[in-house]
Amino acid sequence: MASLSQNKKPSFRSILGLTALVFFMSDVRDGVGPFLAIYLKSALNWDTQKTGMALASMSIAAAVMQLPSGLLVDSTKFKRSILALSAVLISVGCLVILAFPSLLNIIFAQSMIGVASAVIPPAIAAITIGLVGRQAFPKRISINETWNHTGNLLTALAAGVLGQYLGHHWILYVVGVFALMSIFSLLFINPKEIDHSAARELAPSNDKDKPNGKPEPLLKLLKQRAIIIFSVSIILFHLANAAQLPLVGQLLAKQNPNIDALFMAGSIILAQFVMIGVAYTVGLFMNSFGRKPIFLIAFLILPIRAILYTLTTDPIYLLAIQLLDGIGAGIFGVIAIVIVSDLTKDTGRFNFFQGLVALCTGVGAALSNIMAGSIVKSWGFNAGFFTLSILSVIGLLFFWMFMPETKDVNPSENS
């Protein structure tokens, strides 16, 4: 019997709820994100090394929880409930940062945010594919990412204006408001319309190769060559990328302490404008051009952007360079999850592999922030950006040389 999501289109109400969820969760899923660097530098006078530790603590906690989160989302039918709980925990973490601003407390709060945020991307993706089915999934992910970046844009604008004129602590209040709206959005999604087998890319029960519709053994999945290569590529991408925007935020705070929140908001807003267009465009062309060529463009952006940051400290030019971040991040947000879907087709391990990719993302981001923070403290911002540019070239070459095209490829062919 074919899956429900292949025979029946989801209701308008559920799609509306999904769209609203993606929009509001765009701010909640990362806590205060790069604005935390501004808050710690301007409000608490922290140096780059301590700031790097605070940023890394969220990445490390999220990394630890990625695989359990993926397994949880694969196995549970209560996907909406765990999303609501995650939103609540992230809000509490932001309140702890405000109320108890010591190093240990902020590391604890960031760790709690990291744990809660780990479940959000796989749960949203699972609900999406469970509602629309695999065939419509790539296009719908493109739409999801378009709304995700739209939400990021508007919340960055709100956080920048409120942080500048009412105080940096207002940045954290924005997260709480959006968390409540995320929970409200979940009420519009009809749980009966979510096909939980499709939500984990489980083969139909009448599949001749998987007659019982059972998920593939984890070890078999992890031994696949393409999955190993893609996982390493994700680590290299975020090792070169994650620290770039926080470093720019700290550089802006150092050069222009009176308008740092506005400039950080401007950096994010400009990038998000580009991401909106890129995310939608990728959805139009990824089936024609394949996944690999488009992902290579995202990799190519990284060294160019890092080098350009070393050429100026002018806030206007730094803002202009952020347009490149919009291209890279817009591509990554769509293509990465589609590649995951390609590599886990009929395995029943879609969300587990999402967790693995997120684990690789967290490892790369944590190492990036710790490494870059230490380098900048000892040798300055330019040394940090040059190091990130070298790492990005290594990642680009690795992905280009070893990663196969995944469009229309059976995962078993990459074993």
pLDDT in tens, 110-167: 888 888 888 998 999 999 999 998 888 888 999 998 998 888 778 777 777 777 777 7
Domain assignment present for 128: yes
Per-residue model confidence (pLDDT) at position 300 = 94
CATH code of the domain in which 131 resides: 1.20.1250.20
User: Is this structure's pTM higher than 0.75?
Assistant: yes
Residue-wise pLDDT for 222-257, tens only, equals 889 999 999 999 999 999 998 888 888 777 767 666
Rounded distance between C-alpha atoms, residue 6 and residue 21, angstroms: 22
DSSP code for 9: P
Per-residue model confidence (pLDDT) at position 387 = 93
CB 319 within 8 A of CB 265: no
Domain assignment present for 203: no
Is residue 259 over pLDDT 70?
Answer: no
Domain assignment present for 153: yes
Q: Could you tell me the two tokens for 236?
A: 């290299």
Is residue 212 over pLDDT 50?
Answer: no
Question: How does residue 33 score in pLDDT terms, banded at 50, 70 and 90?
Answer: low
Domain assignment present for 92: yes
Domain assignment present for 140: yes
Question: How does residue 5 score in pLDDT terms, banded at 50, 70 and 90?
Answer: very low
Domain assignment present for 106: yes
Domain count, the chain: 1
Spatial neighbors of 259 by CB under 8 A, at least 6 apart, are 164, 315
DSSP secondary structure string for all residues of 34-97: THHHHHHHHTS---HHHHHHHHHHHHHHHHHHHHHHHHHHHH-S-HHHHHHHHHHHHHHHHHHH
Closest of 204, 139, 182, 162 to residue 6, by C-alpha: 204
Domain assignment present for 204: no
Determine the structural domain holding residue 346 and report its residue range.
11-196+215-414
Spatial neighbors of 316 by CB under 8 A, at least 6 apart, are none
Question: How does residue 363 score in pLDDT terms, banded at 50, 70 and 90?
Answer: confident
Domain assignment present for 58: yes
Residue-wise pLDDT for 273-297, tens only, equals 888 889 889 888 887 788 999 999 9
Per-residue model confidence (pLDDT) at position 6 = 47
Per-residue model confidence (pLDDT) at position 211 = 45
Residue-wise pLDDT for 307-326, tens only, equals 999 898 787 888 888 788 88
Is residue 205 over pLDDT 60?
Answer: no
Per-residue model confidence (pLDDT) at position 72 = 92
In the chain, % of residues over pLDDT 70: 87
Per-residue model confidence (pLDDT) at position 292 = 92
Per-residue model confidence (pLDDT) at position 114 = 87
In the chain, % of residues over pLDDT 90: 30
Reduced to 3 states (helix: H, G, I; strand: E, B; else coil), residue 347 is: strand
Q: Of 377 and 188, which is predicted with more confidence?
A: 188
Mean residue pLDDT across the chain? 83
